[in-house]
Every structure is written in C-alpha cells, then in structure tokens.
Amino acid sequence: MENEQKGSTEEKLRLFEVRKADLLTMGGEKMVLKQHELTKLTARERVDLLFDADTFQEIQLFVKHRSTLFGLGEKEIPADGVITGFGLINGRTVFAAAQDFTSAGGSLGEMHAKKIWKVMDMALSARKPFVAMNDSGGARIQEGVPSLEGYGGIFYRNTIASGYIPQITAIMGPTAGGAVYSPALADWVFMVKKNSYMYITGPEVIKAVIGEEVSHEDLGGAVAHATKSGVCHFVTESDQDCLARIRTFLSFLPDSCHSPLPVAACTDSPGRECPELDTIIPDKTNRVYDMKKVIAAVADKGEIFEPHELWAKNIIVAFIRIMGRPVGVIANNPKFNAGILDVNASDKASRFIRFCDAFNIPLLTFSDVPGYMPGTRQEWSGIISHGAKLLHAYSEATVPKLTVVTRKAYGGAYLGMCSKQLGADYVMAWPTAEIAVMGAEGACNIVYRREISSADDPAARRAELACAYEGQFNNPYFAASLGVIEEIIRPRDTRKRVATLLETLQDKTEVRLLKKHNNIPL
C-alpha cells in the first residue's frame, strides 16, 4: 500500500483503474462461469439489465470486510459481495442493491450490510424507490453476530421506508433463515423460477426436526410461494424476465408517497364505450364470467399488471391505467369459488389497498360477491379478523374510491367490497346488480321456514317466496332509491364513467383524526 502512494499522479490514476478493474471481476472467472451454468446472471449483469444503459452509478465499491475470524483475514471478497448504487429506470431515479453470489456466496457480513444500509438511507433521503436483488447464502457464518446486526439494520430500514418509498425485492438465488424477512417487509416480491427459493428452515432441518421430506423447490420455490403461501407476488421465467418486469412495474409507481403519480402517454379515449360488457353477465346468476375481461375493457388499451395472479384467485388485484394515470383495481373473480371472500382473499386485497393508498393510487372496485366463505376451516383460520382487515383497509384509504357492482353484492361482503359506508366516493351498479342481505333462497329458508315446511308443495312455495324476495331486493333499484348507490349505468359506459370520475376526484384530500397510527387487525 505504501508503495502504491509513492508514484506519480499518472501512476496513481493507473493504479486506481487496475484496482477498480480487479473488483469489477467479482468472484473471478470460475465463479462467474458457475453462476452462468446455473442460468443465473451475475450481480453486475443484473444491474446492467435493470437500469437504463450507462446510467448506473456504483457507490462504495472499495468497501472491505474487516473480520479476521475463521480465515476471513486472508479472504478477499470483492465489494464485500454486494453491488450498491443508483441509476435511471425508464428515465427515473431508482436505488438498488444486488448481492454477488460469486463473492463468498453473496453472504451478508457487517460491511456488506452497511453498504445496503447506506444505499437504503440514500433512497430514503432522495425519496426514490429501492430494488433489492437477493442471491445469498445468508448471514456470513464466519463473522457471527455482526451479520445478524446487519440484517437487523436492514429490517429497520425496510420498516421506516414502508409506505414512504416503493420497495421491491427480486429473489434470484437462495434466501434462507431470517434473511427472508427483508423481502417480506418490502412491498413486492418477484421470484425467478427454479433458481430461487425462500424459507425459514431448509429441507435438511425440517427432516431432522419433524421428519418431513420436501425438496428446496417444493418448500420455497417461486411456484410454492406464488400459489401456496402468497409470499411471492410475481413468478418470473428467468433473470432477464424478472428484471424486465420490474422495469415495467416501476412505471406504475410514484417515486415516493410525496411524489406525483407517473402519467403515461395515452392514446386511448376516455369516452370509449365497451359494448362487450353489455353481454358479459350470463342470464343465470350462478354462471361464471371472466372478470379480467371487465378490467381489461376499462383499462387503457386493455393493459393489466397483475400481482398475486396465482394466489387467492377468488379475488383479483391489478394495476391498470386510465387516461395514462395508474389505478389499483380490486375485483371478485366469479371463476374461483364464485368470488367469495375468504382469509387469503381478504389478506391479498387488504395489503394491495394499503399499498395503493400509501402511494396515492386511486382504487377501483368491481363487486360480485356472494359473501364470506362459511365453514370451520375458515372460522378457525380467523376469517373474522382477516375479513376485518378488508373493512379496515378500505375505510382508512383516503384516495379516490370508486365501486362498480356488476352482479352480487350480498351482506357483509357487500360492505367489504368498498361500499359507500366504507367511504367510497361514488358507487355505480349495472342493471344486473343484486344488492341484498343474502341470496333469495337462503333468505326465504330462514324468514319463511315454517310457512314453507307446512305448505302442500314446499318447493313451489319456496320458489314463489324467493321470487317475491328477489323482486324486492335482488336488483339495484332498492339500493338506488335509498341513495346507497349513486347511479345505475349501462355496462358499456363503465370506462367513460370511471375516467370522468377519476378526473373529477383528482384533487381529493381527506384529513383523518390526528393519532399515531391505526391498529389494523393483523
């Protein structure tokens, strides 16, 4: 080191280039080759693909670990196994950290963590989104406690940043143990099929402790977390696919909760009619239809960006644009369990609503819901408190809230799908809407039980009474007469109405009681 400082300025500059180039080779050719053989990109290749060309500015490249334990004193770990910095994505500034598996398995030691702290702190100060690309063996085993402290500092920053700047994590390799909690604290988790997994304890420990045998993939792979646990919001095919989709996703999001929404150029018309919606509801009310077609019809150019596509499919959450402005859509999906609300659907929708509200993205709800899922499984899984999350999330949201009742809106679930009483600014119903306490047959079985059982022909009497009940309640007119809904609209006019209302409500501000924070039933 002393000799290095002795030469001419020219030599010092040359030496700087040599040292920098050395660090840029990461874990060396052999390790890079191994990474590529697994069809994984290196951290630097990932950064290059995530950011607009030549815009990434790396910070703290020369940071080194300072541990001497268990042979680490002699071990060089380039950039301490993580690349941090900022650059442009679609022309907008974003901060990022990419763990470099080729350098000590991307393991997280004290200095590695401090680099991530620094870039997260910068993202917070600059009020710009943060993207983490995880590919790591977890806590650097040789370093011990400082590694754990490192994770703690990341979790703390994830929490401080929550609702302030968008946080996205891409799982592009192993993520095990407590390391899974930074992704879980972020807003969105992308996972790459086959090459990524997340779990608290791996297959070996599971086998030893409870005797269960399971593979890495089945336990914590992208598909498992996208279909079973709901931890993963987006399953992607490859590193390239993952990074391209994060770029697209960021185009829907503002830089921070204090930033304006990004407005995309729009060639679609606000007055476009959607005649296909006039015929989408089947004549028989227990038949299914494709709610995604309804959402696509209303969206600019039919474009939908859908998180959680494979989990809790009875409810759809999606980002769309209307006249170029982002909108968060929540819709019951009649194709799965008749669009009923259960524990997972309530969790999925509630978190989505809170994200949109935190970042000022207006909410559009399509309601076609027969109720809350009955049964011991749901009751004992806590449908009461999970269902309450939905009521809480909608009620606390202060962004513009529009609701369209397409068909069923029954009972508590009617309230739960952004009814007027939960603060919807404008509720519309199609002429096919049924806004009632419950379905007609069920209602008659309760109210007219004695009368039906003592009738000469109970089935005929039940049908007769159900018909009268339907006439009174299973339509939008009774609700409209009470002002519980604002308007009955032709389905074809849905986009037109929604576009006008969103424009009208653009400056909505709602001030709530001064307090520390709500206590959502978690």
Residues near ligand HXC, by CB under 6 A: 104-105, 107, 137-141, 148, 151, 174, 176-179
Cα distance between residue 408 and residue 485, in whole Å: 14
Q: What is the dihedral sign for C-alpha 349, 354, 360, 362?
A: positive
Measured at the CA of 484, the angle between CA 501 and CA 272, to 5 degrees, comes to 30
CB of 236 to ligand HXC, least distance (A): 20
Catalytic residue among 412, 416, 440, 443: 412
* Encoded amino acid at 304, one letter: I
| Cβ neighbour number for residue 59 with a 10 Å cutoff | 14
**Residue 413 falls in the annotated catalytic set:** yes
Nearer to ligand HXC, 79 or 297 (CB): 79
Q: Is 178 a catalytic residue?
A: yes
Residue nearest to ligand HXC (CB): 137
114 vs 321, which CB is nearer to ligand HXC?
114
Q: Residue 366 carries which DSSP code?
A: E
Q: Which is nearer to ligand HXC, 178 or 270 (CB)?
A: 178
Least distance from C-beta 141 to ligand HXC, angstroms?
4
Question: Residue 376 is encoded by which pair of tokens?
Answer: 């011991």
β-bridge partners, 304: none
In angstroms, what is the minimal distance from the CB of 104 to ligand HXC? 5
Q: Minimal distance in Å, beta carbon 29 to ligand HXC?
A: 13
Helix (H, G, I), strand (E, B) or coil at 276: helix
Percent helix / strand / coil, the chain, rounded to 5? 45, 15, 35
Secondary structure (DSSP) of 77-91: -GGGGEEEEEEEETT
319 Ramachandran zone, left/alpha/beta (phi>0; psi -120 to 50): beta
Nearest CB to ligand HXC, comparing residues 141 and 310: 141
Cβ closer to ligand HXC: 160 or 460?
A: 160
Q: How far is the CB of 188 from ligand HXC (least distance, A)?
A: 21
| The pair of three-digit structure tokens given for residue 337, joined into one six-digit string | 């369990």
Which of the 8 DSSP states describes residue 496?
H
**Residue 266: is it exposed, middle or buried by C-beta count within 10 angstroms (0-12/13-18/19+)?**
middle
By DSSP bridging, strand 325-332 and strand 315-322 are antiparallel
Q: How far is the CB of 38 from ligand HXC (least distance, A)?
A: 8
Nearest residue (CB) to ligand HXC, 139 versus 171: 139
Name the minimum Å distance from CB 179 to ligand HXC.
Answer: 5
Residue 220 is a catalytic residue? no
For ligand HXC, the closer of residues 78 and 137 by Cβ is 137
> Nearer to ligand HXC by C-beta: 141 or 455?
141
Residue for token pair 């709800």: 365
Selected catalytic residue, list 43, 170, 176, 413:
413
CA 247, 249, 251, 253 torsion-angle sign: negative
Q: How far apart are CA 169 and CA 160, in angstroms?
A: 16
* Among candidate residues 92, 142, 98, the one with its CA nearest the CA of residue 119: 98
C-alpha span between 352 and 362 (Å, rounded)? 12
Of 178, 202, 324, 442, which one is the catalytic site residue? 178
Least separation in angstroms between residue 176's CB and ligand HXC is 5
Question: What's the Cα-to-Cα distance from 251 to each of 90, 261, 319, rounded to whole Å?
Answer: 7, 10, 11
Name the residue with tokens 């039906």: 452
**Residue 92 structure tokens:** 């907008």
Catalytic residue among 85, 177, 220, 439: 177
Return the active site residues. Answer: 177-178, 412-413
